[in-house]
Structure 1
Amino acid sequence: MMKSCVHIYCGDGKGKTTAAIGLSVRAAGCGKKVLITRFLKTDHSGEVKTLGDIPGISVTPCERSFGFFTKMTEEQKKEAAIYYSQLLESTLIKAVDGEYDLLVMDEIMAVCNYGLVNEEEVSKFLTGRPEWLEVVLTGRNPSQTFVTMADYVSEIKKVKHPYDQGLNARRGIEY
């Protein structure tokens, strides 16, 4: 059996989730079982429904939305921390118990950086994960701990983005 790897898609450019989804589709197309858990995102994003229709891919539902972190009250931040910590815990158990081949934790960097989940818990899981489990982490500003643990680190750099000219996110393109 080949060694499984940890992938990081990070940076300020558009495409981190898109890269993770592309890898998920490739893995499923080769008969692998994929689990995708999304943090800080609702299930209204265009890819969620279609991903759920692809044999071999399971998407963990995101049942609560707290809005942008910078606009949350302290009480909402506490609620979000409880919710996302529980989501992380159930995801890690499900990934191992379900014998998935690929685990994608979309926007895990953000929930770690905001203190909504314990980064040490994620690191401990990565270190002790089953030898067959490939893991993808996405988000901006990965910690040095995550970068050191990763086998792949791909930085997606924004050179230009329509948002800078006032164009809001468009359904089917950005979400």
Structure 2
Amino acid sequence: MSWKDRLGLVHIYTGNGKGKTTSAFGLAVRMLGSGGRVIIIQFLKAGRAYGEQVKIEECGAVIESFGLPKFVHGKPSEEDIKAAKRALERAGEVTSSGEWDLVVLDELCVALGFGMLDVGEVKELIKKKAPRTELVLTGRYCPEELFELADYVTEMREIKHPYQRGVLARRGVEY
């Protein structure tokens, strides 16, 4: 049996620690290196401000960013919610199409945590996933009710972080 004939599983990378998107992008590189097709739907990130976005596209992944060019803090705006809903609609299309070997839904769990999306819609998206598509959901605040639909659940737990000492995000390390 070829790797392309294998069953696609569901991963969740969540928690307050660093490394959720980085882990998903590492899996994307592995899939690209094996000849697979990869698409990354970013729910809260915009443009190409992050180093990993630039490099993963050079490796052959497709990235579609739906976030607005600002951080969502506290209560999301109507524009934030509309952008997240557009991202979810697109995520449903690519996840069910069977065209992609790996679909990464980056920061989807944050959008859920901020109440921008309905968890029931995400559960339906997971249930309608094409059988051979590997699916990854990232972001803190993942509702535990999604865990039952996942095959892998990894929680990144922050024990110590330079932010606690006032060290701001550094290009090439945090973004």
TM-score between the two structures when normalised by the length of structure 1: 0.90
Distance 1:61 1:10 in 2: 20
Distance 1:14 1:163 in 2: 11
TM-score between the two structures when normalised by the length of structure 2: 0.90
Alignment match of 2:11 (pick from 7, 14, 21)? 7
Distance 2:10 2:174 in 1: 25
Partner AA of 1:12 in structure 2:
N
Distance 1:154 1:137 in 2: 11
Partner AA of 2:87 in structure 1:
L
Q: 5+ residue gaps in structure 1?
A: none
Q: How far off is 1:148 after superposition?
A: 1.0
Q: How far off is 1:141 after superposition?
A: 2.5
Distance 2:168 2:44 in 1: 18
Q: Aligned residue pairs: how many?
A: 170
RMSD: 1.6
Aligned to 2:91: 91
Aligned to 2:41: 37
Partner AA of 1:94 in structure 2:
V
Alignment match of 1:16 (pick from 20, 33, 41)? 20
Runs of 4+ residues over 3 Å off in structure 1: 94-98
Distance 1:112 1:141 in 2: 7
Alignment match of 1:46 (pick from 38, 46, 51)? 51
Aligned to 1:77: 77
Aligned to 1:104: 104
Q: How far off is 1:146 after superposition?
A: 0.9
Q: How far off is 1:69 after superposition?
A: 2.4
Distance 1:115 1:65 in 2: 19
- Do the aligned partners of 1:9 and 1:154 also contact (CA within 8 Å) in 2? yes
Partner AA of 1:139 in structure 2:
G
Instruction: Name the SS for the 1:157 alignment partner.
Output: coil
